[in-house]
Amino acid sequence: MSLELVCPAGNLPALKAAVDNGADCVYFGFRNSTNARAFAGLNFDSETAKQGIRYARERGCKVLLALNTFPQTAQWHIWRQAVDDAVELGVDALILADLGLMRYASRTYPNLRLHLSVQGSATNYEAINFYHEHFGIQRAVLPRVLSLAQVENVVKHTPVEIELFGFGGLCVMVEGRCILSSYATGESPNTAGVCSPAKAVRWQQTPKGLESRLNGVLLDRYGADENAGYPTLCKGRFEVEDETYYALEEPTSLNTLALIPDMLRMGISAIKIEGRQRSPIYVEQVTRVWRAAIDAAKRDAAYYAVTPDWMAQLGKLSEGQQHTLGAYYRPWK
């Protein structure tokens, strides 16, 4: 297994853009709260899913379905139905976070390939091996909290394929456990499939700057020359002890192009690109850069170098137009 490029698809044109520009896998979600990008107008119904799967298959690209939210008791049937529908559609794998759903999927469809979502929040090999032993998961997406050395240690002690996030928006890194959005709106990604539901978001130009509010809570106020970010509580600027700053997290994007040779050496199976909520042109641009970079590293890892052109293209697309190696780069670890 060699470093697959896993790209996001919020709609059919984005899926095609990913396939056409060199994705090895695309991942998508249904049009309901069974996935963590349950935004109005986004995602696939059964007809577009069928078309997308056919398009990808014909071009040698695998299709993964994200069922990465946590069912509530009263709506369990919606998630179960989504598993059944995915099998009917013939996706290559399900990306699951919830234990109950994993049990249902593995018992009902023993041959179905399962991936453990980042929302499952498994950061050590014991946890990953538990999922492997009980539900036969074949791949785990690691939360964005581990250093490269810690990732390598996980890879060495598990038969499960490891997928890492390579590029895209960062979240506050309590993956699968964050309810900040619920604090202000009653809905959060893990339950309702949406962080900062759009109905609770208001943007307003004021004499002091562009204000973003979540259910009335002021998240940020941007000066004329400041780049804006997503209107999430974790990326807001707050007054803490007479100082106003990004008290939780700065709006920034993960960009790990520089780490591809390390990932190859360590035996990482796949790199995930974040952004099902983004437009087809984003998917096209990011996929093209990452395809070129992975191919270059595979040709000759020793002489691999990140080009300024790649960085410029990805930098332009980044939230806050800043990027970071995230937790992967912790030389002291």
Partner 1 sequence: MSQPAFTFPRPLGQLIEHLPAWPPSFAFTRILNLALRQVIRRRDLQALYGKRISIHVTDAGLHLHFTVLPTGFSAAAGNVEADLAISASAYDFYLLAMRREDPDTLFFNRRLVVEGDTELGLVAKNTLDAIEHPMLELERIFPRHLLARMKARLWV
Q: What is the binding site for partner 1 (CB under 8 A)? A: 10-14, 39-42, 48, 197-199, 201-205, 210, 222, 224-229, 231, 277-282, 285, 316-321
Residue 132 Cα distances to 128, 136, 140, 226, 320, angstroms = 6, 4, 9, 46, 38
- Name residue 271's amino acid: I
Question: What is the residue-wise DSSP string for 54-66?
Answer: HHHHHTT-EEEEE
Q: For partner 1, which is the closer residue by CB, 37 or 132?
A: 37
* CB hemisphere CA count around 170 (13 angstroms): 24
Task: Round to whole Å and give the CA distance between 250 and 229.
Answer: 9
CA-nearest of 69, 157, 63 to 113 is 63
Cβ 256 to partner 1, closest distance in Å?
20
Nearer to partner 1, 76 or 230 (CB): 230
How far, in Å, CA of 56 to CA of 19, rounded? 6
Q: Whose Cβ is closer to partner 1: residue 48's or residue 147's?
A: 48
User: How far apart are CB 67 and partner 1 at their closest, in Å?
Assistant: 20
- Give me the least distance between CB of 249 and partner 1, in Å please: 16
> Which is nearer to partner 1, 226 or 239 (by Cβ)?
226
Minimum CB–partner distance for residue 310 and partner 1 (Å): 16
Q: Which residues contact residue 143 at a Cβ distance below 8 angstroms, ignoring those fewer than 6 apart?
A: 118, 121, 122, 123, 173, 175, 176
Least distance (Å) between residue 220 CB and partner 1: 12
Pick between residue 44 and residue 135 the one whose CB is nearest to partner 1.
44
Nearer to partner 1, 135 or 167 (CB): 167
Helix (H) or strand (E) holding 213: strand 209-214
- Cβ at position 171, least distance to partner 1 in Å: 16
The smaller minimum CB distance to partner 1, of residues 152 and 284, is found at 284
Helix, strand, coil shares of the chain, percent, nearest 5, are: 40, 20, 40
Smallest gap from Cβ 48 to partner 1, in A, equals 8
Helix count and strand count (H, E) for the chain:
11, 15
CA distance 59 to 315: 29
115/94 Cα distance (integer angstroms): 6
